[in-house]
Amino acid sequence: MASTAGTLTVVLLLGAAVPPAVPAAEPPLPTLIEPAQTQATTVYAERRRALMDAMGEGVAVVYSEGEEDGFGYRPSGDFFYLTGVDDPGAVLVLAPKERTYREFLFLKTRDAEWERWVGEREPMGAALRKKYGFEKIYRDRNNGLLSHMVNLATRSPTLWQVVLPNVADDAKPKDLELYSKVGEKLPGVKVKSLGWTLANLRARHSPDELAIMQHGIRLTEEGFRAAIPLVRPGASEGMVRAEAERVWRAAGSRRTAYSSIVGSGANSTIMHYPRSERVMKDGEVLLMDMACEYAHYATDITRTVPVNGHFTAEQRKVYDVVLAAQEKALAMVKPGVYHEDLDKAARSVIEAAGYGDFFIHGLGHFVGLDVHDAGAYHEPLAAGMVLTIEPGIYLPDRGFGVRIEDEVLVTETGARLLTDGLPRTAEEVERWMAGAASRR
């Protein structure tokens, strides 16, 4: 252990002076089409074909269902996965039994006055069809979408729910809403669920997706490395957060993958602490759960560090338990293992140490286009899946919490830690802080 630690010191100090070079084994990024940061249209067409193979017959509609978040429109992961289109209000229609044209893109009608406010949208034509890789693009005017659906359903009367419903939302899903209207025009048409098909397609990432995600992770790590020198008593949480987010933005990230959580002292025990405006004090920890989105893919990393560079004995004890729980779960990751096995194993480490009541969330989640990505948590892990392992212990009465979060890829034979560019053990973290302090 001692000699390993010595080697690590050297590596980390070198890393401090010169940003670590990207390892030779790093997968090459696929060509991204700017400014939308999308992949080639054939990538999305291939995914639609896989989904249509699973449908076999009938018709499916997928609404974009995105949101404006201040950095522009962000389509839902399901819609983007199938289209690469980030035009607000877009709708995808798939009809695998059709003879010639089996996929259709409906776009909102244009509004010249509104476009003065939100940006000009492109006119119909060959250029737009090429850009999106669809032979058939329509404007959804005069119930065009509904009549098109009815028309397709007369020839193959099954309507597929391909997007899993948001069960936390009372409202009727938009696809089912449209299918009801189709049913009113066409009695006897069947509505069926495609279950976990789309989630399972999304969860098994292609090599190109993994290359994009790995690149995003390297950017996130770079943000952490830039932010760490700002962690010290008297500095604000906001300085740390702003520095990381600046690095990501400057490197081409459009937005953070989720609202950054940067909390010191008792704030480190609040799962979704949003403000990042407290001044850090001597003797506290700082919990940073922050990550960038890159080319539409999320990343997700958490590190917890001592504000003055040294954990107290109690903080260190808790840190080591969290790390041991994480190591235990990480060592188990391979095809065939279930999420709940990992969760149980990590939880047993924390329970054995007497902190069972203070690990109040799940062990982790899939990561992909969404930070909490699509995937069947009840099914065994398979190669190509990326998940977080993020145990935590939160002690509000003691004024601190610790979470360590990393992303791991399930490979054919086991697992690969994707977020291997940042310190994880308590010793490494303290050395990281000392290195940062010496450069101030």
Q: Catalog residues that contact Mn ion under the rule CB under 5 A.
A: 300, 388
Residue 189, SS3 per DSSP = coil
Q: Which is nearer to Mn ion, 65 or 300 (CB)?
A: 300
Q: Which is nearer to Mn ion, 243 or 300 (CB)?
A: 300
> How far is it, in rounded angstroms, from Cα 305 to Cα 210?
28
Three-point CA angle 336, 342, 345, nearest 5°: 130
Q: Which is nearer to Mn ion, 86 or 300 (CB)?
A: 300
Q: Which is nearer to Mn ion, 300 or 343 (CB)?
A: 300
Q: Which is nearer to Mn ion, 300 or 373 (CB)?
A: 300
Q: Which is nearer to Mn ion, 137 or 371 (CB)?
A: 371
Residue 207, SS3 per DSSP = helix
Q: Which is nearer to Mn ion, 133 or 364 (CB)?
A: 364
Please state the closest distance from residue 66 (CB atom) to Mn ion, in A: 21
Please state the closest distance from residue 416 (CB atom) to Mn ion, in A: 18
- Residue with the CB atom nearest Mn ion in the bound state: 300
Query: Considering only CA atoms, which of 265, 290, 292 is closest in space to residue 279?
Result: 265
Please state the closest distance from residue 87 (CB atom) to Mn ion, in A: 29
Q: Which is nearer to Mn ion, 137 or 286 (CB)?
A: 286
Fill in the DSSP letter of residue 357.
G
> How far is it, in rounded angstroms, from Cα 75 to Cα 87?
8
Please state the closest distance from residue 371 (CB atom) to Mn ion, in A: 7
Which helix (H) or strand (E) segment is 314 a member of? Answer: helix 313-332
Please state the closest distance from residue 294 (CB atom) to Mn ion, in A: 16
Please state the closest distance from residue 126 (CB atom) to Mn ion, in A: 43
Please state the closest distance from residue 254 (CB atom) to Mn ion, in A: 19
Please state the closest distance from residue 260 (CB atom) to Mn ion, in A: 12
Question: Dmax over Cα atoms in the chain, in whole Å?
Answer: 75
Residue 4, SS3 per DSSP = helix
> How far is it, in rounded angstroms, from Cα 345 to Cα 60?
40
Please state the closest distance from residue 392 (CB atom) to Mn ion, in A: 10
Residue found under tokens 């990207």? 22
Q: Is the dihedral angle over the CA atoms 307, 313, 318, 319 positive or is it negative?
A: positive
Residue found under tokens 């949208």? 121
Tokens of 271: 């799962």
Please state the closest distance from residue 390 (CB atom) to Mn ion, in A: 5
Residue 261 phi/psi, 5-degree rounding, is -110, 110
CA 431 to centroid of chain Cα atoms? 30
Please state the closest distance from residue 47 (CB atom) to Mn ion, in A: 25
Answer yes or no: are the C-beta atoms of 288 and 224 closer than 8 Å. yes
The length of the chain is 440
Tokens of 93: 């229609």
Ranges of H-type helices in 233-312? 237-250
Q: Which is nearer to Mn ion, 39 or 388 (CB)?
A: 388
The answer for residues whose C-beta is within 8 angstroms of residue 71's C-beta and 6 or more apart is 254, 255
Q: Which is nearer to Mn ion, 352 or 360 (CB)?
A: 360
Residue 138, SS3 per DSSP = strand
Q: Is the dihedral angle over the CA atoms 113, 115, 120, 121 positive or is it negative?
A: negative
Q: Which is nearer to Mn ion, 245 or 373 (CB)?
A: 373
Bridge pairing between strands 73-74 and 67-68: antiparallel
